[in-house]
Amino acid sequence: MDSKTINVGVVGYGFSAKVFHIPLITNTAGMKLVAVLERSDDTSKKQFPDISVCKTIHEILHDSASVDLLVITSVNSTHYEYAKLAILAKKHVVVEKPFTIKYEQAAELARLADENNVVLSVYHNRRYDSDFLTVSKLIRSNLLGPIVEVSSRFDRFRATKKSPHAWRENANEIGSGILYDLGPHLIDQAICLFGMPSSLFATLSNQRRIPNGPDDNFQISLFYPHKNLTVNLAASMLAAIKPPRFQIFGTNGSFTKFNLDPQEDQLKAGINPLNDPSFGVESPDNYGSIVTTTTPENIRIDGKVTSERGNYLLYYANVRDAILGSAPLAVTPQQAAQTVLVIEKAFQSATSNSVVNL
C-alpha cells in the first residue's frame, strides 16, 4: 500500500454501495476505488471503467488489483463470513450495519482484527447526522439539565412490500426485518450518548401483516436506573404522519426535533458530498425547538436550535487516518459489538415479553 493511497474494494453493488459508500470513498482524499464484487452483472464497470469487477469473494481478496480495504455491503447474513475472510487475508475492513447477526460473531471479528493488526470498523454513519450532532452538543451544554427521558425514532410509510424479492422483508432471510435494518442506527446513537443500559424491554411486530414478513415495527426501552434515565427507541413502516425524530426531556427543559438528516436524500439526488456547500445542511424550517429555564434568573426561553452540519465524509476520513496510523478509530468493532448485543437482547425480550438484563 502506498503511504498515501488506500486501494478500496467493495462487496456488492446495490443501494447501499451506490448511494452511501462509493460516493464517499471516491470523494475521500487518499482512497481509490479499485474493485467491486458484483456477481450477476458488470454495472459498476460502466460507471467506473478503470476498476476490476470480481465475481467471488476469493477473487476480490486475492486475484484482483491489490485491495487494502474491503467494504462489505452485501446481505446481512454474509457480513460475518466475508469480514472474517478479509481479516484473515490481512485486509482492513468496513462492514455495513448490522455488524453481524450474533454477538459472539462480532466479538470474534473484533478479536481477529486485533490479532491480525488490521482496522475493522462498522458503518455507523448516523453518528454524523445533523440531528444527532445537534442533540449531542445540546446534551453536553446542559441547557436541559440532567436528562430523564429520550425518544428517538426512524419512521417510514410503506404499507406493502417494496418488491416481491426484497430480502429485508422476507422472514426466511437471516438478518431481515426492521430491527436489523434501522435498529443499529438508533442503538448506536443511544450508546454514544449514554453508554450501555442496565436492562431493556422490547416489542416486535409485523404490523402490515405481510405473509412471511419479518418485524416491521419495534419499540425498545433502554433503562439507566443509575442515571434516572429511560431511552425509548422505535421504528415503524406505517408512519404516514411522522412523529418527532427526537424528543428529550430534562429537569430544566425539553427539546423536540422533526424530520431526518438530509444527507441520504442528497446522496440519492447525486449531490457531491465534497464540493456542494449544501451537503449536510438542514433547512431552518427543520430546526429543533427548545424550552429551557437554565438561565441566571431561571427565565423561560422558548426558541429554535440551529442544526449542526452533518457530514458522512468524516466517517471514511477517519477510517483512512486510522489505517495510516494518524488517528484513533472512531467506530471500533468493540463498540459495534455492543449494538449487536442490544439487538440480540431485544429479540430475547420480545420473545419472552420480559425485561432483560445486559
Residues 182 and 36 in one domain: no
Residue 207 and residue 216 in contact, taking contact as beta carbons nearer than 8 Å: yes
Residues 223 and 241 in one domain: yes
Kindly state the cell numbers that stand for 299.
Answer: 427565565
Name the domain boundary from 58, 88, 123. Answer: 123
Name the domain boundary from 92, 123, 154. Answer: 123
Residue 64 and residue 44 in contact, taking contact as beta carbons nearer than 8 Å: no
Angstrom distance (rounded) from CA 19 to CA 15: 6
Q: Rounded to a whole number, what is the largest CA-CA distance in the chain? A: 69
Tell whether 334 is covered by a domain: no
Residues 144 and 107 in one domain: no
Q: What are the start-end ranges of the E strands in the chain?
A: 6-11, 31-37, 52-54, 69-72, 92-95, 120-122, 147-155, 199-205, 217-224, 229-236, 246-250, 253-257, 288-292, 301-305, 356-357
Residues 137 and 115 in one domain: no
- Is the dihedral angle over the CA atoms 97, 100, 101, 106 positive or is it negative? negative
CATH number of the domain where residue 64 is located: 3.40.50.720
Number of domains within the chain: 2
Residues 259 and 198 in one domain: yes
Residues 159 and 32 in one domain: no
Residues 222 and 300 in one domain: yes
End-to-end CA distance of the chain: 41
Residues 238 and 264 in one domain: yes
Name the domain boundary from 75, 106, 123. Answer: 123
Residue 93 and residue 113 in contact, taking contact as beta carbons nearer than 8 Å: yes
Closest CA to 112 of 94, 76, 88, 141: 88
Angstrom distance (rounded) from CA 157 to CA 188: 23
Q: Look at residue 149 in the predicted model and tell me its pLDDT.
A: 99
Q: Look at residue 235 in the predicted model and tell me its pLDDT.
A: 97
Q: Look at residue 173 in the predicted model and tell me its pLDDT.
A: 86
Angstrom distance (rounded) from CA 140 to CA 305: 14
Residues 346 and 201 in one domain: yes
- Distances in Å between the Cα of 212 and the Cα atoms of 173, 208, 239, 344 are 10, 11, 21, 21
Q: Look at residue 40 in the predicted model and tell me its pLDDT.
A: 85
Q: Look at residue 175 in the predicted model and tell me its pLDDT.
A: 86
Tell whether 325 is covered by a domain: no
Instruction: Please name the residues in contact with 14: beta carbons below 8 A apart, sequence gap of 6 or more.
Output: 73
CATH number of the domain where residue 274 is located: 3.30.360.10
Residues 142 and 284 in one domain: yes
Q: What stretches of 195-262 show up as alpha helix (H) in DSSP?
A: none
Residues 211 and 228 in one domain: yes
Could you list the pLDDT tens digit for every one of the 358 residues in the chain? 556 899 999 999 999 999 999 999 999 999 999 999 998 888 999 999 999 999 999 999 997 669 999 999 999 999 999 999 999 999 999 999 999 999 999 999 999 999 999 999 999 999 999 999 999 999 999 999 999 999 999 998 988 877 766 777 777 788 889 999 999 999 999 999 999 999 999 999 999 998 888 889 999 999 999 999 999 999 999 999 999 999 999 999 999 999 999 999 999 999 999 999 999 999 999 999 999 998 767 777 789 999 999 999 999 999 999 999 999 999 999 999 999 999 999 999 999 999 999 9
Residue 338 and residue 98 in contact, taking contact as beta carbons nearer than 8 Å: no
Instruction: Please name the residues in contact with 55: beta carbons below 8 A apart, sequence gap of 6 or more.
Output: 37, 38, 39
Q: Look at residue 299 in the predicted model and tell me its pLDDT.
A: 72
**Residue-range definition of the domain harbouring residue 199:** 126-314+342-357
- Beta-bridge partners for 291: 254, 302
Rg, the chain, Cα only = 21
Residues 293 and 190 in one domain: yes
